[in-house]
Structure 1
Amino acid sequence: MSGRMRLPEGFVELRADLGNILRDRRKSENIPLKNLAADVGITRESLSRIERGRRCPGYDTLYRIMGQLGLEWHQIAIRGRAERPARHFPRNEREENLEDLGAMLRKGRKAAGLSLRALAAECALSYSRLSRIERGQSRYSDVLEEDPDDAMLDPDRRRLRFSHPRLAGLAERGRLRP
């Protein structure tokens, strides 16, 4: 289950027994597999594969699982320095804002019952580009704009928002949805 993944500063990789850690915690909390999967927003089969070590979760999924199970990074990742640095979590507010926008868009898109491909076609975007936007990995895009209220702030602290009306509406829907 190794591989390069986004990690907080000071951690080099996920523990090899990550799936066992997640399963053991879920069971100790008496949370059924299907309930945790639904709360995290993945299928029961996906969570089962993660727990068996057959699939490595993406950082968004892992972060949501950690939140539901009350786990901290030191419980699932190895501290240290790697020869090949891990991709780290965002270091500034702008990058955090990009990830938040992407998460809200994904939640709003799913609430509207739209697939990634359908929304990409509707908005004249490529599937891969929209996927990067949802993962918070698209720093510069013509569907994003800086909030005019933040013009006097340092560029790394300026909030972003969707300039595309359909994406803005779905992100707002995702923000309001519990």
Structure 2
Amino acid sequence: MNRSQNGHLTLRELKRGNLIDAMLHADEEYDINKVLRYFSYQHFYVIYCKFWELDTYHDFLIDKENLIIYGNHALTYRIVDRIFSQGRWGYEDFVYFILAEENKLSEPSLEYWFKCIDLDGNGILTCNEMQFFYEEQLHRMECMGQEPVFFEDILCQIIDMIKP
């Protein structure tokens, strides 16, 4: 509901959304597993277990070394460095990350990853910014003995898709 993603819900956003109705439903429903609009106990449990698994010191903080093993090392060092440019994470930070990671087609996810790749924070993704993150993926392909797909080919596909 917080479209500006500043962590503060405005009265207008609250009135336009259905959060209050969802909270009332959660309060009235005996079986919490039936409340699914904004909260799913099952999803919470899965996310919490993943957080606990990554939090090797069990201090409720995750750092770069913890996150790099997420998803069987699916993330590159460059993107993890970018994600952690603000320091260590608590559980709330991890929730934002995992929601963006697991549902890449949602608008909040697109905004999350866009901000990660937008190195200079100007609201524009340049070829250099995209290539910076792709270089590490290219290196991974080569290390795994896969035929490399060069950035120029990826860029050509992106241009064909968005037709700027």
Normalising by the residue count of structure 1, what TM-score does the alignment of the two structures yield? 0.28
Name whichever structure is richer in strand by fraction.
1
Name whichever structure is richer in helix by fraction.
2
User: Relative contact order, CA 8 A, sep 6+: which one is greater?
Assistant: 1
Normalising by the residue count of structure 2, what TM-score does the alignment of the two structures yield? 0.29
Please identify the structure whose Cα radius of gyration is greater.
Answer: 2
